[in-house]
Amino acid sequence: MIPCNEPPDHVNDGIPIIKIDSAGDRFYIAPMSDETNAKFEHELKRLEKRVDALVQVCDQLQDENRSLKQRQDSLTSERATLLQKNEQVRARVEAMIGRLKAMEQGG
């Protein structure tokens, strides 16, 4: 630790933060105690678990998104097929109506 005759200017979770250079506002953080180090490790593990959970959720969402895109592609293709069949049926019905009208006028 760099010697400093001034008392700590700030305290962060019980760790004194000592001003080294008042002109440049540089600070030095005193070494962590075993208790503080244990708290830090515990918090780090907690955050690691949360990040892992978020990664897992992201993976699930990517899988779901991929599945939904495939389903959308399938439905789009099915819709196009149904529209084509609908047009074919419409053309047949119009042709039948035309023949019926021709039969009425001719007969």
Per-residue pLDDT reduced to its tens digit, 48-99: 999 999 999 999 999 999 999 999 999 999 999 999 999 999 999 999 999 9
Tell the burial category of 16 from Cβ atoms under 10 Å away from its Cβ (0-12, 13-18, 19+).
middle
Q: What is the pLDDT of residue 8?
A: 47
CB 42 within 8 A of CB 34: no
Nearby residues of 19 by Cβ (< 8 Å), 6 or more positions away: 4, 6, 9, 25, 26, 27
Domain spans of the chain, in order of start: 53-106
pTM higher than 0.75? no
pLDDT of 1 above 60: no
Report d(CA 62, CA 25) in Å as an integer: 46
Of 80, 101, 82, nearest to 90 by C-alpha is 82
Q: What is the pLDDT of residue 106?
A: 82
Name beta bridge partners: 15: 12
What mean pLDDT comes out for the span 15-25?
Answer: 58
Report d(CA 26, CA 5) in Å as an integer: 15
pLDDT of 45 above 50: yes
User: At 90, which amino acid appears?
Assistant: R
